[in-house]
């Protein structure tokens, strides 16, 4: 056996071991998450409903953010309009004297 062949064999064994270890970790994480969700009363069969709930929450959050932005613009417009009206009345009063 040459040194290159030994390296290839060792690399193949290590790659296989890493893949197997990764699968074990994935399985453990999946079981832990499923257990946590079950403890909160969320069953595995309700995935579609949970997804729909999250979609609804995202839409609601985005609409609230849009309303906040619109409210800011409306208040700013009212302030600028009020200030411009006050300046106009001041100028009109000054010119009227």
Q: Do residues 34 and 44 lie in contact, with contact meaning Cβ atoms separated by under 8 Å?
A: yes
Confidence at 20, pLDDT banded by 50, 70, 90: confident
Greater pLDDT, 4 or 79: 79
pLDDT in tens, 21-59: 778 888 888 888 888 888 888 877 777 888 899 999 999
pTM over 0.85? The answer is no
DSSP readout, the chain? Answer: --HHHHHHHHHHHHHHHHHHHHHHHHHHHHHHHHHHHHHTT--GGGHHHHHHHHHHHHHHHHHHHHHHHHHHHHHHHHHHHHHHHHHHHHHHHHHH-
Domain locations in the chain as residue ranges: 1-42, 47-97
Joined tokens for residue 91:
């100028």
**Measured distance CA(51)–CA(49) in Å, rounded:** 5
């Amino acid at each position: 056996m040459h040194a290159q062949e030994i390296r290839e064999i060792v690399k193949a064994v290590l790659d296989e071991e890493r893949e197997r270890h990764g699968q074990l970790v994935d399985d453990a994480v999946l079981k832990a998450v499923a257990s946590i969700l079950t403890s909160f009363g969320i069953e595995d069969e309700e995935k579609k409903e949970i997804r729909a709930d999250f979609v609804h929450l995202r839409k609601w959050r985005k609409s609230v953010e849009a309303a906040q932005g619109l409210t800011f613009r409306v208040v700013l417009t009212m302030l600028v309009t009020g200030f411009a009206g006050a300046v106009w009345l001041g100028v009109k009063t000054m010119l009227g004297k």
